[in-house]
Amino acid sequence: MTSDAAAEDRMLKNTGNTFKTQLVLVILSLVGVGLVLLSTSRYGVGISPDSTQYISTARSLLAGNGYLGFDDAPFRDSPPLFAALLAFLGAIGIEPLIGARFLNAFAFGLTILLSGRLFLTHVRSKVLVVLGTTTILLSVPLFTVSVMAWTEPVFVLLSVLFVIYLSEFLDENRLSVLFLVSILVGLACLQRFIGITLILTGFVLIVSSLPKVSLLGRSKYAVVFAGISVVPVLIWIIQSYVLTSTLTGGRSSSGFALSQSIVQTLSAMAIWFVPHGVPSWMKMVGLGLVLSVMLVTPVSLCYRSRREASINSKELMEERTAGAFVLVYALALIAYSAIFDGEKIADRFLAPMYVLIMFMVFVGIEQVSNFLNVRLRRPALGTFAVILLCTLWLTYPLARVSKHALSYARNGPPGFNTVAWRESPTIQWLQAHPLEGKVYSNAPDVVYILTGRAAHLSPCRSMDVSELKNSLSSGLNHYVVWFDIGWFDEWRSHCYDMRKLASIFGIEEVATFSDGGIYLLR
């Protein structure tokens, strides 16, 4: 066989291997969609208090009433895109509660597919490509947000697209691509306010990563990008201020110190790689090793950029963009947690980082395997050892995701769509006995999502009860649906309990159950 024929044969073989790998990636993405749909098959997507706001606002949009929640309050604590997407699905015949289930399932599947595309572009070993993509499929952070009616799955998808298309612009310097990435970032900001981190990342990279363009030219590109990206969410924020006198809803001071926010972030990330049961110091050591492998990527990037003729190759730009976004996003999340009151930093908020962290980890892993191959003087021995270790480690996320998926399929995902809530005697009574009048509850979101009945938050310490007292004289019945559940009482501890309400109003018992009751205010 001639040298030309041998080269052609190798090219055809590589093409065939790439096609087979791409087919495997498609299969993995479809498995991801199926996994989410299976996990939400009993009662549907998981529902939390903010999920209820998204769904009720989508129904309000469909009814032509604008951005209003189930309690008729303006929907302003979150950006508008997710509710609008659910309303769009409702307009084509898919009820928003059902639409949230399918939207996030397919967002998860597309994220797996695009992640595979990143791995395939940067990792030469096809086995490592498949293993890397499998880590996205078996990602507990991504899977657990995808079974909920939350904004994260679409935001993660938009973040991956941002990395791909911003890198393409930095490599090819085409205006059409700049407009595309600006629109994607604008949509991300309309999905989650923390999308501002994409604007910051893009602005810095455009100014610093176009060496063939003058500083003035780079600045113009950066301003165009930031302007297109920020205008939609800026309009939303201005409208919010006009309606509610707040920019993004109520935000109080943080209950966490900066050091606590950092520890929360590192602890949550450590569980991605090291099991719960091991001592904390071992988790931190494990995370340190992973981060060290991640550092191989930027170190290798600097080394390659000095040796390669084209510093602006798309491959190098994608690695740089991924690393920059992870850094900016992590710092912004920690700063937000330390300044504003919110939930503890956990998987939900770290999910947008997961894909890009694993991308950089596997790029680093291949660099390590290449180094071992050279040092051991056995071309495939280092690669084999790395693949074996990665395969063994995958049993850990596989066990975690399987446990969650089986639990969700049996009992429903976390939140208000579980067996416990669906079979609540109080909820079942409400479903069989529609209340005529005004309804208050320490769980108005639960009442709305499971019975379809709009309810208001029951009186609490920050509320002026005189308005409610005046309303009682109107002749309209006023009910309190009270859920007497230990952990829920602590969660909604700012609400007056029934003993306190009885001291303020006259209370008539309508029905009581093991988990709560219905009372008429007099």
* Cα distances (Å, whole numbers) of residue 384 to 116, 124, 368, 391: 21, 14, 12, 11
478-483/456-457 β-pairing: unpaired
pLDDT of 2 higher than 60: no
Choose between 280 and 19: higher pLDDT: 19
How sure is the predictor about 487, in pLDDT bands with cuts at 50, 70 and 90? low
Please tell me the distance from the alpha carbon of residue 455 to that of residue 227, in angstroms, as a whole number: 40
pLDDT of 303 higher than 70: no
pLDDT of 124 higher than 90: no
Q: Is there a contact between 189 and 198 (Cβ–Cβ < 8 Å)?
A: yes
Q: Residue 489 has what pLDDT?
A: 56
Average pLDDT, the chain: 86
Residue 303 φ/ψ region, left for φ over 0, alpha for ψ in the -120 to 50 degree band, beta for the rest? alpha
Q: Residue 324 has what pLDDT?
A: 92
User: What DSSP character marks residue 343?
Assistant: P
Mean pLDDT of 197-223: 92
Please tell me the distance from the alpha carbon of residue 138 to that of residue 125, in angstroms, as a whole number: 20
Match 């930093």 to its residue by tokens.
345
Question: Which of 270-279, 291-300, 350-359, 406-415 comes out lowest in average pLDDT?
Answer: 291-300
Q: Return the structure tokens found at 99.
A: 């639409």
Q: Cα–Cα–Cα angle for 329, 151, 412, nearest 5°?
A: 125
pLDDT of 283 higher than 60: yes
Burial of 154: CB neighbours in 10 Å, binned 0-12, 13-18, 19+: buried
Please tell me the distance from the alpha carbon of residue 471 to that of residue 450, in angstroms, as a whole number: 26
516-521/478-483 β-pairing: antiparallel
Burial of 15: CB neighbours in 10 Å, binned 0-12, 13-18, 19+: exposed
Q: Return the structure tokens found at 174.
A: 């085409």
The pLDDT tens digits for 225-273 are 999 999 999 999 998 888 877 777 666 666 677 888 888 888 888 889 8
Choose between 313 and 227: higher pLDDT: 227
Q: Residue 383 has what pLDDT?
A: 81
The pLDDT tens digits for 318-355 are 888 999 999 999 999 998 888 876 678 888 999 999 99
Q: Is there a contact between 321 and 360 (Cβ–Cβ < 8 Å)?
A: no
The model's pTM is: 0.91
Q: Residue 172 has what pLDDT?
A: 87
Burial of 414: CB neighbours in 10 Å, binned 0-12, 13-18, 19+: middle
Match 């309690």 to its residue by tokens.
71
Q: State the first-to-last Cα distance of the chain, in angstroms, to the nearest integer.
A: 97
Q: Residue 311 has what pLDDT?
A: 45
Q: Residue 196 has what pLDDT?
A: 96
pLDDT of 11 higher than 80: no
Q: Is there a contact between 349 and 333 (Cβ–Cβ < 8 Å)?
A: yes
3-state SS, one letter per residue, for 386-429: HHHHHHHHCHHHHHHHHHHHHHHHHHCCCCCCCHHHHCCHHHHH
Q: Is there a contact between 359 and 119 (Cβ–Cβ < 8 Å)?
A: yes
Angle between helices 3-39 and 96-122 (to 10 degrees): 160
* Cα distances (Å, whole numbers) of residue 144 to 99, 140, 193: 17, 6, 21
Mean pLDDT of 146-164: 97
Please tell me the distance from the alpha carbon of residue 327 to that of residue 321, in angstroms, as a whole number: 10
Match 């700063």 to its residue by tokens.
335
Angle between helices 314-339 and 196-208 (to 10 degrees): 140
Mean pLDDT of 206-224: 90
pLDDT of 23 higher than 90: yes
Please tell me the distance from the alpha carbon of residue 492 to that of residue 463, in angstroms, as a whole number: 14
Q: Residue 300 has what pLDDT?
A: 62
Please tell me the distance from the alpha carbon of residue 167 to that of residue 173, in angstroms, as a whole number: 10
Q: Residue 298 has what pLDDT?
A: 63
Spatial neighbors of 325 by CB under 8 A, at least 6 apart, are: 159, 162, 163, 197, 198, 201, 356
Percent share of the chain, pLDDT over 90: 52
The pLDDT tens digits for 440-477 are 988 899 999 999 888 888 888 767 777 777 777 777 88
Half-sphere exposure in the Cβ direction for 132 (13 Å, CA): 32
Please tell me the distance from the alpha carbon of residue 141 to that of residue 132, in angstroms, as a whole number: 15
3-state SS, one letter per residue, for 193-246: HHHHHHHHHHHHHHHHCCCCCCHHHHHHHHHHHHHHHHHHHHHHHHHHHHHHCC
Q: Residue 38 has what pLDDT?
A: 96
Mean pLDDT of 65-70: 91
Please tell me the distance from the alpha carbon of residue 222 to that of residue 218, in angstroms, as a whole number: 6
**Type of residue at 355:** V
Mean pLDDT of 517-522: 89
pLDDT of 5 higher than 70: no
Q: In 3-state terms, what secondary structure has residue 44?
A: coil
Q: Residue 8 has what pLDDT?
A: 47
Half-sphere exposure in the Cβ direction for 486 (13 Å, CA): 0
How sure is the predictor about 39, in pLDDT bands with cuts at 50, 70 and 90? very high
**Type of residue at 343:** E
The pLDDT tens digits for 192-204 are 999 999 999 999 9
Please tell me the distance from the alpha carbon of residue 82 to that of residue 88, in angstroms, as a whole number: 10
- Bridge partners, 507 (sequence order): 521
Q: Where are the alpha helices (DSSP H) in 123-174?
A: 126-137, 140-146, 152-172
pLDDT of 310 higher than 60: no
How sure is the predictor about 7, in pLDDT bands with cuts at 50, 70 and 90? very low
**Type of residue at 484:** D
The pLDDT tens digits for 81-95 are 999 999 999 999 999
Q: Residue 6 has what pLDDT?
A: 46
Please tell me the distance from the alpha carbon of residue 81 to that of residue 89, in angstroms, as a whole number: 12
